Chain A
């Protein structure tokens, strides 16, 4: 699988570490229930999904990669910097 790193260009997926769904945002207000949701609850969509990948063997950027969970089609990747920190 090739991932189009916005900095490095297309790279083999073996250069990346997978994190998971990019949607959950770390709650900032100390709400334990919200934190439990953030830590544990994940959707499992069949279709395009934004995910966090880390380009460990490359530019060391955390990326938001859009991958179709049904067939691994990757439609894009962008730096996480544009992703926002908190809900």
Chain B
């Protein structure tokens, strides 16, 4: 048995020893231990070094409020810094290391920094190392970063997996202490849906640590019975190891630790689960956190919160000291003296700052020396506590101790009540902030409400549980009335003992002392928010759980105000640290967003295609062939094949919206800047859609396949946006129009078949059933033709500038169709092409795409001003007519080509007149897209150039300082290939 493990008592399993290691040293604990309790049982008092001064530090608390005992857990990529020893559940092989020490915990070179501590006071970051500035990056910052700080990140990607889950209930109970269990039992018995969260691995809260009784049963026994009863209810769900971290609008966030306590992670089990919980009513029963007292040397290892000492003694049967004194301003501190006496290790003294102590409380100390109206002035020791200096009626007295239990009061754990902006209220009776105004549907029970006794906790829980059940339509028939053992929770005002010689810490985690608070006040930072930021008080990972009220009390006294006049800082989520990975869930890496695959994806993969992300879609970018050196060679071959023969490209990703109804024509006239009401059956037309502010939103073709059967296409990336816009136009602007529309993007697999031999290929595919002659199926025709067991839609539209068709079949036939097209085109040299070749051909044709439809261009800028009808109203018409948008000096679409063949052009290069300085003031536009044109044998570009159309033939600079480009280009017509447009008929 470990040196400080008691032979009997506690909720640990002495039959199940657990081996673990701390700083490489093998140790043994017991099942039921936390890391902290196992360290206490092993007599290890020194567990870390402090943030700024590298002072030796020990365990302060027994819960998530722990400011000191932060360790690095795990090795390699699994290493997690700043993990609280008080919340780590012991498991075989647990491997932890202390932090912020070098070379070792016991001998830390930088502890010498304490000698320089006058330099490290409040605001030192702001005032020190100001000059010379050059030294900041090279010397000061690296040195400070090395010396200060907490644990080290692994530097590797998080190897664990996480998931999210959502749950709904009538009553959500946060905390499974007496109040939470009472609420869950009361509501659970009615059949109301209850979710009970407990951050610990065991239910019970203080009932596991204190010698209290309910209905004559010891706390742990009552908890066991309550848990057994709750387990019989299908309507109650208990989530242990689950910490609520935030109250959000209408929902609560919580994180469940699934594998952090396991030696071996089961296959497929995520590390943590992030819960979003939606509850009709929430009861916050998170308890209260004991408050330390600020006095000289109050950070010495061995000084611990009084209730935490009781937890180690009575829950974990671990002795946190062999000669311990109690320094208290509360009745609760005396119960710690009693607990030590029960363990057979009477305390050395009880020091209470108060003088009036109830006889029942006084009796808890038995016959140990008691000092009333006294204070601990200084704690003396190095790596462990050796003595305390007590000042009181007796004068000064030094008492040799190796532990000190401190109780300055209790802070209700109310952070969640302030997450939505509500402010707590200071209670003079409790000497603590208690909940005041509250978000709707949130109630607070027991110690979290400042009602500290067990009887109050049980009564609150029962009352609020019943109310929640009633609200859910499940009224309580017989309200439970639990009998609790008597206890008192009187508290006196003691936050700070002045006059000690040692450093008196307010914030243990960020090393903020009483002197820092005083300095902050001297320098004018008297607002609590300024104090916080100037001194960093309360800004560490513990978010001021144990420090903020003491800091506020000292600030109040120094500024001659009361605590409520001084104010309080507001808590924001998360209430405790949450791994970023938990927020991401499974949406990491390639699964960051969903991926959409076209019907021909499998086929394209077989062809060895290289894929590119286009919105959520994966599209074939090009199809490399053996022997090709780079993408340009593959793309050039694909372009040549289309221009000289026939190519096939999957265009299923374009948005497709089916429209019908008597008013489709009128509707399209209002959403497109050009006219559609004249579109005959069997025809397709290119359309340009504007936003209401006059800028171009999207483009595409709309085909009329039947009298009442239209299909409108959008660009791939704007499909969702356009659908939403059209729904807006229909539902919000013109609900009187009788139009029905729905996305059919997923219904159709669609392929472009382009090139002079495209008709031959399709004729081969369809056979004599389809007449594809130019007379029967001219440019911009559309129609439906039988194809095997299905019907194919055919559109004669062209993005490449060649004779081209788009063929669509129901998506289930898409894979078969691409294979059939390849077979039908085999003798014609059919070549699959990807988005890269598509882009080259559209640049050669001067067709605008995403780079030009960038939300900053109007139709006129794109050379499409003629499309804007003057005969009708449409979305964007009035705003597009604004003078500034028709200014000829606006950048307008042009073509660009290098004056020296062989020079590469790059998109993003800015245009400058020859001789003009390369400054933003002389910027005249930029290159939007470039490509190597196989037909022309040189690079070409599209760009937006001020007064572009007037400048055809002019030479300008394309200046690209980021990539070192600076070339002279000639402004040309943006249609590089076949400006007459004869090839679409070729």
Contact = CB atoms under 8 A, between A and B. Distances in A.
A and B are interacting partners: yes
Interface string A37-51: 011100000000000
Given A1-B250, A73-B440, A54 B734 contact: no
B440 A2 contact: no
B735 interface: yes
A32 B881 contact: yes
A38 B591 CA distance: 40
Interface in A18-37: 19, 26, 28, 30, 32, 35-36
B421 interface: yes
A55 to B, nearest CB: 10
Nearest to A61: B731
A52 B729 CA distance: 13
B878 A32 contact: yes
Nearest to A33: B878
Contact of A60 (B727, B734, B873): B727
Contacts of B251: 1-2
Given A1-B249, A39-B693, A85-B733, A56 B879 contact: no
A71 B735 CA distance: 32
A2 B954 CA distance: 59
**Chain A interface mostly:** mixed
B720 to A, nearest CB: 7
B746 to A, nearest CB: 15
A38 B733 CA distance: 12
A56 B692 CA distance: 20
A8 B278 CA distance: 17
Given A35-B878, A39-B692, A39-B693, A72 B249 contact: yes
A39 B879 contact: yes
Nearest to B734: A85
A18 B757 CA distance: 48
A56 B724 contact: yes
Given A2-B249, A30-B873, A85-B732, 13 more contacts: A1-B249, A1-B250, A1-B251, A2-B278, A19-B728, A26-B733, A30-B878, A32-B882, A35-B879, A39-B879, A62-B732, A73-B440, A80-B732
18 contacts: A1-B248, A2-B278, A13-B249, A28-B873, A32-B878, A32-B881, A35-B879, A38-B692, A39-B693, A40-B693, A52-B732, A54-B727, A60-B727, A62-B731, A71-B249, A72-B249, A85-B733, A85-B734
Contacts of A1: 248-251
A30 B872 CA distance: 10
A32 B278 CA distance: 47
Contacts of A17: 724
Most A Cβ at <10 Å: residue of B276, B732, B733:
B732
Interface string B855-890: 000000000000000000100001101100000000
B736 interface: yes
Interface string A46-87: 000000101010001110000000011100000011010100
Nearest to A73: B440
A35 B733 CA distance: 13
Interface of B: 248-251, 276, 278, 420-421, 440, 692-693, 720, 724, 727-728, 731-736, 873, 878-879, 881-882
Q: Which 5 A-B pairs have the closest CB atoms?
A: A1-B249, A35-B878, A2-B250, A62-B731, A72-B249
Contacts of A60: 727
Interface of A: 1-2, 12-13, 17, 19, 26, 28, 30, 32, 35-36, 38-40, 52, 54, 56, 60-62, 71-73, 80-81, 83, 85
A67 B733 CA distance: 22
A38 B879 CA distance: 11
A36 B249 CA distance: 34
Given A1-B248, A35-B879, A71-B420, A56 B720 contact: yes
A48 to B, nearest CB: 15
A2 to B, nearest CB: 4
Contact of B728 (A28, A36, A62, A71): A62
Contacts of B692: 26, 35, 38-39
A47 to B, nearest CB: 15
A40 B694 CA distance: 12
Nearest to A32: B878
A71 B421 contact: yes
A26 B727 CA distance: 15
Contacts of A35: 692, 878-879
Given A2-B250, A52-B732, A62-B732, A36 B727 contact: no
Contacts of A36: 879
A12 B693 CA distance: 31
Contacts of A73: 440
Contacts of B873: 28, 30
A61 B731 CA distance: 8
B879 A81 contact: no
Nearest to A82: B735
Contacts of A13: 249
Contacts of B879: 32, 35-36, 39
A63 B720 CA distance: 18
B440 A85 contact: no
A85 B692 CA distance: 15
A25 to B, nearest CB: 9
Nearest to A64: B732
A22 to B, nearest CB: 9
Contact of A85 (B278, B421, B736, B878): B736
B531 to A, nearest CB: 27
A13 B250 CA distance: 10
Contacts of B248: 1
A80 B632 CA distance: 51
Contacts of A32: 878-879, 881-882
Nearest to B725: A54
Contacts of A26: 692, 733
Contacts of A12: 276
Given A39-B693, A73-B440, A62 B734 contact: no
Contacts of A38: 692
Given A32-B878, A54-B724, A85 B735 contact: yes
A28 B874 CA distance: 10
Contacts of B278: 2
Nearest to B276: A12
Contacts of A61: 731
Given A2-B251, A71-B421, A54 B878 contact: no
B193 to A, nearest CB: 15
A50 B693 CA distance: 22
Nearest to A1: B249
A77 B879 CA distance: 31
Contacts of B440: 73
A13 B276 CA distance: 13
Contacts of B728: 19, 52, 54, 62
The residue among A1, A2, A32, A35 with the most chain B CB atoms within 10 A of its own CB is A35
A26 B878 CA distance: 12
A81 B421 CA distance: 35
